[in-house]
Amino acid sequence: MSARATTDEAVAAAFFAGFAALAHALAYRTGRASLGSIAFLPLLTGAALAPTALTVLATALAVSAGEVLQRREFLKASFNVAQHTLAVGLGILAYLLAGGESVLGRTPPVLAFSALLVSFMLVNKAAVAVVVALATRAPLLASLTRGLGSSLLYDLLSFPLVYVFSIAYAKFGAGWSAGIALPMLGVRQLYKTNFELEKINEDLLSLMVASIEARDPYTSGHSKRVARYSTIIARAAGFRSGRVERVTTAALLHDVGKIHEEFAPILRKPGRLTDSEYAVMKTHAAKGAELVARVSSFSDLVPPVRSHHEAWDGSGYPDGLRGDQIPEFARVIAIADTIDAMATSRPYRDAIDLDAVFAELQRQSARQFDPTFVRAVLAPRALSELRSAIAEETSSAPQRSSDLSEPPSAPRPRASAAVTAPV
């Protein structure tokens, strides 16, 4: 990487550094440890026009200016500056190694341009994934996969703008480039609007689940715990990031049928359920599926919500499905739901020891649960992650609850059904 730059390259680096500083100042928060910004677009354009050490320095100054305007705390600001500077520096190195040179006065080489974009994206996402994993205690690979998947489509749509932007600047100068900046601001709004819509959907789901769980102390937090455990199990089972997210949403909604008024007095009951009460409670899965079916974007979640009480050996409800007939998501949720039922306290018993919880899962493998998913749960890495999550979640879980397991007179196809069959 050359430390020297021509006057034209220096002007280009300064022009796009200024644009990047403004874009970074308009960044918006997308999570506990991440920001949404289109500063990468002008930064990469500057890198293609002036692939020199000067652009790396300009990147550091631009991001620093944006951080000051955002009034970010020093540690986070330092990370953001280092992250962008490293990503641009390595991107320029990949660009030059692939045969790239300044596009001023010439057509950008596609192969080298692609190397610049891919290198920048991978370094940037990897750095963010490390911080998110540390902040949220999530597995690093899962954070990286989620980061790549969540914005991949928008990145692919945005990167051609860098190519067009660099050509426009090289052929027509800064004035025309400033006009073309408007589509970039549109991309920024697209990113922000998409994130805000996703956040609104998440908040509405949380509100709906909270309204259901407010009826009974035990169910307070139950759906969120099941969603968290389902996420861990789905990852352990090798689900892609997009499917993991859908499993998580389905798990959050799995008890939505209990919002119907007929369940309210049963949920508030402090003791064991009668046969008739248990029969009413068993209808919540089908009723929940009917509610979920009303939301078009949740059409793929209807089967798992309906079938999360089906059993591998066919003894579950509401349809008596067995084996591979049961939707995969439902098989994951069934394990997570049972873990939470055993790991939290009931009026008639304390929470079960975690060793006993996982031993019970092993005993019910190929009977109540999919044996493939049980093996995934009991693998050392998943087991360790689940233990940590359960310990964290149950430390603040309610200590009293309505008994939502089978009543004494209900048929029990297995000796430990009262423990492993939550309603």
User: Kindly report the CA angle at 127 between 126 and 131, in degrees rounded to 5?
Assistant: 115
Considering the chain, what is the average pLDDT of its residues? Answer: 80
What's the pLDDT at 400? 42
Domain boundary among 164, 199, 234: 199
What's the pLDDT at 153? 65
Within a domain: residue 64? yes
3-class secondary-structure state, position 60: helix
What's the pLDDT at 194? 64
Domain boundary among 154, 171, 199: 199
Residue 153 and residue 59 in one domain: yes
Residue 27 and residue 154 in one domain: yes
Averaged pLDDT for residues 110-119: 88
What's the pLDDT at 412? 34
Say how many C-beta atoms besides its own lie within 10 A of residue 70's C-beta.
17
pTM: 0.61
Averaged pLDDT for residues 238-261: 89
Within a domain: residue 205? no
pLDDT at 406 over 50: no
What single-letter amino acid sits at 246? R
| φ, ψ for residue 206, nearest 5 deg | -65, -40
Percent of the chain topping pLDDT 70: 71
- CATH number for the domain that contains residue 42: 1.10.1760.20
What's the pLDDT at 239? 93
- Domain extent, residue 220, equals 214-420
CA distances from 263 to 269, 282, 330, 407 (A): 10, 10, 22, 16
CA distances from 396 to 42, 218, 221, 345, 389 (A): 47, 12, 9, 11, 12
Q: Report how many domains make up the chain.
A: 2
Per-residue pLDDT tens digits for 28-54: 655 544 556 778 888 888 898 889 999
pLDDT at 272 over 70: yes
Contact indicator for 122, 156 with CB cutoff of 8 Å: no
Beta bridge partners of 369: 365
pLDDT at 346 over 80: no
CA distances from 352 to 8, 125, 168, 177, 357 (A): 71, 40, 66, 65, 6
Averaged pLDDT for residues 377-387: 93
